[in-house]
Amino acid sequence: MSLPEGFLWGAATAAYQIEGAANEDRRAPSIWDAFSRTPGKTLNGDTGDVATDHYHRWREDVAAMAELGISAYRFSISWPRVMPGGALNRKGVDFYSRLVDALLENGIAPVATLYHWDLPQELEEAGGWPERATAHRFAEYAARMARALGDRVHTWTTLNEPWCSAFLGYASGVHAPGRADPVAGLTAAHHLNLAHGLASRELRAAADPSARHSITLNPHHLRGEPEAVRRVDAVANRIFLDPLTGRGYPPDLLEDTAALTDWGFVQDGDEKTIAAPLDVLGVNYYAPTLVHTWDGVSPRAGADGHKRGAATPFVGCEDVEFAEQPGPHTAMGWPVDAAGLEEMLLGLRRDHPALPLMVTENGAAYADAVGPDGRIRDGDRIAYLRDHLAAMRRAVETGVDVRGYFAWSLLDNFEWAYGYDRRFGLIHVDYATGERRWKDSAHWYKEAISRGGPA
C-alpha cells in the first residue's frame, strides 16, 4: 500500500449542517438562520433549526466514528454559538471542548474549522465580509478558540471554501447572506483572505506548537477552452491560492475586473498578512468544471441555475459558458469524474510543489432508499468513493504529498440551499425521529479504512 505513514482517514461535517439547537445555550443567529428563514431561499423552506440534532446526539455520533475506524474527524465551530454578541459564551465552548475530549478518548484526531459559513448575523448587519472590520472580529474569535481548545486540536483550519462564502454569498446570492453584487463578492474575497492571515497569526501564537495550520479551498478543476479556463481560474482559484502562497493577487485578475473595481480595498501590508505560513492546504473536490468562451450569438448554455440569467458567481467571466458534461451525474447534478481529482492534485503539486495537501471533502449525494429490510443499498456512493480514493492514491504514487482524506459527510445533513433533500451521508438520518442508520457505504468505508485503501 502506497499511502504514507500517519495518513488521516476521516469524515467531515459542518456546524450549521448538523447541530440544530439553534436557540439553545445563548447561541446567536447566523446569516444562515436569517437566510434559511427567508421564504424562497432554501428548498422546501428548510432551516438548520434542528438539523441532525447533533448538539444533543454527539456522543452517539462519536461512537459511530469510533466504530467506523476513522483516525480524524473534521468538524466546524459555530462562531455565533461560542461568541454571541462578541463575548465568549462558556456553554458554547464547553460543547466543543467535550466533543474534542471524546474524540481524543477514541483515538480520533480533531480537525477543527473556524468558519464553515455561519457568520454571526450581527456582523452581517454591520457590513458582513465586504466590511474590513469583519476580518478583525474573526481574528479575535480565532484567538479565543486557540486558548480554549488549542491544547487538544490536531489541525486548525481557518476557513472552509472562501470562494463559496464570497461569491455564492455576495455575488450570486444563492447562499447566505444572499446579496448579488460582484464588487461585494470581490471585496468579501479579499477580507476572507485577510481574515485567514490575521487568524493564522493568532492561532500560531496561542495553540499547541505541534498543531498544523491550514485553510480549505474548493479549487475548481477546469477543463475546456484556454481563455475561458484562464479567466475562471483567476477569479475562482488564484484569487485565493496566489495571495495565500505569497504571490499576491494575480495581475490578470486585476485586469479582468478593472471595469468593476480598482481593488482599493487591498491595503499596504495585506498581502504579507495573507501569506501566513501554511502547514497543509485542504482541498475539497466533487466534480470538474467545463468552460467555453461564449460566441455572443448562440443561446447561453448552462450547467445549472446560477448560469441561466441569474447573477454569476464568476465575476468578470460573463462571456464564459459553463457546459453540461456527458456521463453520469449525482443527485446534485454534478458529473461523476474521478480522474478530475487526480488531475487537480497533480496541478496543485505542479503550481505549489512544497505545499502538503489534504482532501478535506469528497463525496456524493444520491437518492438513497431504505429497503424493506432496513438496508440502504447505496452502491452508487460506494463506487464514487472507491473511484475517487483510487484516483487520490494514483496522485500519491506519482509523488503528490497528500496527508489525509475526509469523506463528505459522516451524516446526512442540511445541504444549504437544497435543505434536507440531498443526502451526502455515510450514515442515513431519519429527520422525523433523528434515528441514524448505516448505509452500505459506511460499512464499505470501514473496510476500506481497515485495509488502508479503496481495494
Residues that bind ligand PNW (CB under 6 A): 14, 17, 160-161, 164, 218, 284, 361, 408, 415, 424
Of 33 and 361, which CB lies nearer to ligand PNW in the complex structure? 361
Strand partners, 110: 73
CA distance 90 to 437: 33
Nearer to ligand PNW, 188 or 266 (CB): 188
What's the number of CA atoms in the CB half-sphere (13 Å) around residue 193? 31
d(CA 221, CA 423): 23
**Residue 115 forms beta bridges with which residues?**
159
With CA atoms as reference, report the closest residue to 355 among 278, 427, 283, 252. 278
Least separation in angstroms between residue 257's CB and ligand PNW is: 20
DSSP letter, residue 85: G
CB of 124 to ligand PNW, least distance (A): 19
* Under 8 Å between Cβ of 288 and 325: yes
Listed residue (137, 140, 108) closest to 120, CA to CA? 137
Q: What's the closest the beta carbon of residue 425 comes to ligand PNW, in angstroms?
A: 10
CB of 210 to ligand PNW, least distance (A): 26
Residue 28 neighbours by CB under 8 Å, 6+ apart: 80, 81, 84, 85, 120, 121, 122
Nearest distance, CB of residue 424 and ligand PNW, angstroms:
6
Nearer to ligand PNW by Cβ, of 218 and 325: the residue is: 218
For ligand PNW, give the closer residue by CB, 52 or 218.
Answer: 218
DSSP assignment of 367-382 equals: ---B-TTS-B--HHHH
Question: Rounded to 5 degrees, what are φ and ψ at 167?
Answer: -95, -35
- Least separation in angstroms between residue 407's CB and ligand PNW is 11
Q: How far is the CB of 19 from ligand PNW (least distance, A)?
A: 13
CA–centroid distance for 158 within its chain: 11
Q: Closest CB to ligand PNW among 248 and 302? A: 302
> What is the H or E stretch that residue 172 is in?
none
- 482559484: which residue's cell? 237
Measured from the CB atom, is 154 or 307 closer to ligand PNW?
A: 307
Give the list of residues 6+ apart from residue 24 with CB closer than 8 angstroms, or none: 55
CB within 8 A of 185, min separation 6: which ones? 166, 167, 169, 170, 171, 172, 313, 315
For residue 37, CA distances in Å to 24, 54, 126, 422 come to 17, 20, 20, 19
The three cell numbers of residue 286 are: 466533487
**Nearest to 29, CA basis, from 42, 14, 16:** 16
Which cell is 331 given?
443527485
Active-site annotation holder among 131, 202, 342, 361: 361
Query: Which residue's CB is nearer to ligand PNW, number 42 or number 160?
Result: 160
Are the C-beta atoms of residues 111 and 10 closer than 8 Å to each other?
yes
Residue 297 Cβ vs ligand PNW, minimum distance, rounded to whole Å: 27
Among 161, 271, 321, 415, the active-site one is: 161
Catalytic residue check, 161:
yes
Q: Which is nearer to ligand PNW, 152 or 428 (CB)?
A: 428
d(CA 144, CA 82): 9
Residue 397 annotated to the active site = no
CA distance 58 to 81: 16
As annotated, the active-site residues are 161, 361
